[in-house]
């Protein structure tokens, strides 16, 4: 259950009344890798296996599903137990300083490593039109079922330009993206030449997840940060923000957005 | 500088044009406590001393300003160096599992400790009327200067019911609250019988910060999570969400909200 009803008192201009409100469920899940507690994520309870997979790949601990022998989810007790193939995954040194994300957050990596194991600049010939971007964003918003009921979650999705292929919601915007990335890994869907969509703001950690999966285009309903823009520019990612109605801002690598019919000025 | 201008391509119905957009600055700051790297926060660059103080108190590492000998901020190189009095602060065991916040996030504490050093139920005779809540929220929104320019930050504030006493913005909603808490500590302002206001969603980590500072009322423009509501109910906090126009939802301890003039039903 991703939503729950709680008793509230609702106040309006006219009255004070008892009411039931639909609230998004928050669940702590501890990821245990090869019998070692790695991290506790606060998240929404759906697709926890994808979340665990996506988290490990976003942290650079695994590269493919083949690095994993098994994932066991115990959502009742709040555990995701992962066994790596031949215990081959080297977990990060937890005595090193932690990076606390700016928002909806997660990462174990100290910030320095943002420029460490750099995957280089993403080369992709993908091109997309504004009309396609608006259509994808409309579809994305329509699918945000839990957000419409609770106002308490973020969404993420993967698109091949024509369609939304995968969609996730989570109380954390990082988690929503990790669930999409994990599902790609689980079902063997490539992220190359694909588009990630997020409801949330684009800070450095978000763009680093996208870079690691070689995704050339990120579109968001919201604002980026300066560091998010810088990393997108450095990594060859087309970062598009404030996609609302028939408007958008392109913060980096605008050549992937084709505008044949509208006039170009400046 | 909390904002910066970046070159963008803006697409509207009519045209594609080069433009300058105002973007919120994201800065990594590593908190070094007694020569030991504790954590790296991704944050907005204002009030970094208050952020460091607020972070330490929210983590339960210090209780008052007197626990600190000095704070030195080097925002150029991204460091906040804190010396505790007689090196008395016991930093957390970083080899224990980390809690990754659901959003705008930070905490070093494993979730279990949420119920560990419990400060018990907050006793406060504070009462507030809906009209006062709407006035505070209007004032709060008016002050969100960087949000209006960039759309990329959260805000937090402390109120004594009549006025907003302190106000902060940050790319992280946790950081914004920690800056307010840290400023209270720095200038010797009590948080007892006060009201915290946040622009962000209320998850468990947010309400635990409020509980630790003995703050009896939290009001938010946004939604809570189930765990946020549960902890607020357990700790004696009046949690009010979706304060918009002349409406609000009270999720816990509604008796602190006085509604004399409007009719009460059910």
Taking the Cβ of residue A169 and every Cβ of chain B, the question of whether any pair is shorter than 8 Å is answered with no
Q: Of A27, A101, A249, which is closest to B105 when you measure between CB atoms? A: A101
Of B162, B228, B165, B229, give the one whose Cα is nearest residue B191: B165
A260 falls in which pLDDT band (50, 70, 90)? Answer: confident
Q: Of A21, A105, A223, which is closest to B151 when you measure between CB atoms? A: A223
Of A205, A208, A144, A187, give the one whose Cα is nearest residue B104: A205
Taking the Cβ of residue B42 and every Cβ of chain A, the question of whether any pair is shorter than 8 Å is answered with yes
Per-block mean pLDDT, blocks of 10 residues, chain B (266 long) = 95 93 96 91 96 94 91 94 82 55 44 49 96 96 92 96 97 97 97 97 96 97 97 98 96 93 54
Q: What is the pLDDT of residue B118?
A: 53
Looking at chain A, which residue has its C-alpha nearest residue B152? A223
Q: Based on the domain organization, do B238 and B169 belong to the same domain?
A: yes
CA atoms within 13 A on the CB side of B74: 8
Contact residues on chain B for A4, CB-CB shorter than 8 A: 226
Q: Based on the domain organization, do A98 and A143 belong to the same domain?
A: no
Domain boundary at A60, A83, A115, which?
A115
Q: What is the pLDDT of residue B119?
A: 56
Strand partners, B225: A24
Q: What is the pLDDT of residue B112?
A: 40
Q: Based on the domain organization, do A105 and A66 belong to the same domain?
A: yes
In a domain, B11, yes or no: no
In a domain, B121, yes or no: no
Residue % of chain A over a pLDDT of 70? 86
In a domain, A11, yes or no: no
In a domain, A123, yes or no: no
Contact (CB<8Å) A9/B257? yes
Q: Based on the domain organization, do B138 and B209 belong to the same domain?
A: yes
Domain boundary at A63, A90, A115, which?
A115
Taking the Cβ of residue A201 and every Cβ of chain B, the question of whether any pair is shorter than 8 Å is answered with yes
Q: What is the pLDDT of residue A265?
A: 54
CA of B127 vs chain A CAs: smallest distance (Å): 15
CATH for B72: 3.10.20.10
Looking at chain B, which residue has its C-alpha nearest residue A249? B10
A13 falls in which pLDDT band (50, 70, 90)? Answer: confident
CA atoms within 13 A on the CB side of A205: 35
Q: What is the pLDDT of residue B208?
A: 95
CA of B67 vs chain A CAs: smallest distance (Å): 22
Q: What is the pLDDT of residue B100?
A: 58
Contact residues on chain B for A101, CB-CB shorter than 8 A: 42, 100-101, 104-106, 172
Contact residues on chain A for B24, CB-CB shorter than 8 A: 223, 225-226
CA triple B176-B182-B183, angle to 5 deg: 95
Chain A, residues 44-63, CB within 8 A of chain B, namely none
Which SS3 state, helix, strand or coil, does residue A92 take?
coil
Taking the Cβ of residue A24 and every Cβ of chain B, the question of whether any pair is shorter than 8 Å is answered with yes
Note the pLDDT tens digit of each residue in A123-160. Answer: 999 999 999 999 999 999 999 999 989 999 999 999 99
SS (H, E, C) chain B: CCEEEEEEEEECCCEEEEEEEEEECCEEEEEEECCEEEEEEEECCCCHHHHHHHHHHHCCCCCCHHHEEEEEEECCCCEEEEEEHHHCCCCCCCCCCEEECCCCCCCCCCHHHHHCCCCCCCCCCCCECHHHHHHHHHHHHHHCHHHHHHCCCEEEEEECCCCEEEEEEECCHHHHHHHHHHHHHHHCCCCCCCEEEECCCECHHHHHHHHHCCCCEEEECCCEEHHHHHHHHHHCCEEEEEEECCEEEEEECHHHECCCCCEECC
Cα A102–chain centre separation = 14
Taking the Cβ of residue B228 and every Cβ of chain A, the question of whether any pair is shorter than 8 Å is answered with yes
What does each C-alpha distance from B112 to A41, A108, B54, B96 come to in angstroms?
Answer: 12, 19, 21, 12
In a domain, A248, yes or no: yes
Q: What is the pLDDT of residue A93?
A: 54
If one compares B101 and A72, the residue with the highest pLDDT of the two is A72
Taking the Cβ of residue B15 and every Cβ of chain A, the question of whether any pair is shorter than 8 Å is answered with yes
Find where tokens 């698109």 sit: A159
Long-range contacts formed by A70-79: CB under 8 A, 24+ apart: A73/A48, A73/A49, A75/A27, A75/A29, A75/A45, A75/A48, A78/A27, A78/A28, A78/A29, A78/A30, A78/A40, A79/A29, A79/A30, A79/A32
In a domain, B224, yes or no: yes
Q: Is residue B246 within 8 Å of A10, Cβ to Cβ? A: no
Q: Based on the domain organization, do A240 and A137 belong to the same domain?
A: yes
Contact (CB<8Å) B26/A94? no
Backbone angles phi, psi at A45, to 5 degrees: -80, 5
Q: Based on the domain organization, do B150 and B221 belong to the same domain?
A: yes
* pLDDT of A109 over the 80 cut: no
In a domain, B266, yes or no: no
If one compares A114 and A231, the residue with the highest pLDDT of the two is A231
* pLDDT of A35 over the 50 cut: yes
Contact (CB<8Å) B10/A248? yes
Note the pLDDT tens digit of each residue in A87-108. Answer: 776 666 554 555 555 443 444 4
Test mutation, B26, B33, B253, chain A, max A CBs within 10 A:
B26
Q: Of A6, A105, A204, which is closest to B100 when you measure between CB atoms? A: A105
CA of A177 vs chain B CAs: smallest distance (Å): 12
Find where tokens 């810088």 sit: A230
What is the mean predicted confidence (pLDDT) over A180-207? 97
Q: Based on the domain organization, do B160 and B81 belong to the same domain?
A: no
Domain boundary at B115, B144, B176, which?
B115
CA of A85 vs chain B CAs: smallest distance (Å): 22
Contact residues on chain A for B12, CB-CB shorter than 8 A: 246-247
Q: Based on the domain organization, do B140 and B207 belong to the same domain?
A: yes
A214 falls in which pLDDT band (50, 70, 90)? Answer: very high
Note the pLDDT tens digit of each residue in A234-248. Answer: 999 999 999 999 999
CATH for B141: 3.40.140.10
Question: What is the count of structural domains for chain B?
Answer: 2
Q: What is the pLDDT of residue A104?
A: 38
A111 falls in which pLDDT band (50, 70, 90)? Answer: very low
CB contact set of A218 (below 8 Å; sequence gap of 6+): A195, A196, A197, A198, A202, A206, A207, A210, A232, A237, A238, A239, A240
Q: What is the pLDDT of residue B113?
A: 40
Contact (CB<8Å) A247/B26? no
Taking the Cβ of residue B115 and every Cβ of chain A, the question of whether any pair is shorter than 8 Å is answered with no
Range of the domain at B91: 27-115
Q: Look up the pTM and report it.
A: 0.90
CB contact set of A74 (below 8 Å; sequence gap of 6+): A80, A81
Contact (CB<8Å) B95/A94? yes
A86 falls in which pLDDT band (50, 70, 90)? Answer: confident
Contact (CB<8Å) A250/B11? yes
* pLDDT of A263 over the 70 cut: no
């Amino acid at each position: 259950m991703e939503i729950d009803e709680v008793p509230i008192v609702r106040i309006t201009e006219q009255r004070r009344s008892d009411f039931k409100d639909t609230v998004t469920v928050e669940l702590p899940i501890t990821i245990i890798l090869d019998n070692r507690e790695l991290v506790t994520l606060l998240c929404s309870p759906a697709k926890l296996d994808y979340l665990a997979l996506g988290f490990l790949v976003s942290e650079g601990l695994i590269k493919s599903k083949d690095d994993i022998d098994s994932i066991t989810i115990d959502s009742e007790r709040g555990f995701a137990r992962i066994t790596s193939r031949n215990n081959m995954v080297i977990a990060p040194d937890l005595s090193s300083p932690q990076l606390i994300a700016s928002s909806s957050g997660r990462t174990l990596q100290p910030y320095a490593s943002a420029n460490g194991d750099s995957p280089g600049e993403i080369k992709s010939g993908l091109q997309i039109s504004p009309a396609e971007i608006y259509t994808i964003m409309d579809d994305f918003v329509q699918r945000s079922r839990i957000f419409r009921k609770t106002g308490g979650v973020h969404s993420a999705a993967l698109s091949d330009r024509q369609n939304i292929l995968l969609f996730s919601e989570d109380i954390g915007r990082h988690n929503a993206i990790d669930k999409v990335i994990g599902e790609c890994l689980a079902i063997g869907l490539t992220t190359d030449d694909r588009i990630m969509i997020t409801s949330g703001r684009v800070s450095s950690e978000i763009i680093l997840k996208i870079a690691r999966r070689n995704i050339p285009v990120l579109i968001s309903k919201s604002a980026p940060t300066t560091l998010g823009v810088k990393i997108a520019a450095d990594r060859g990612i087309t970062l598009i923000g404030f996609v609302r109605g028939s408007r958008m801002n392109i913060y980096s690598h605008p050549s992937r957005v084709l505008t044949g019919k509208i006039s170009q000025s400046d």
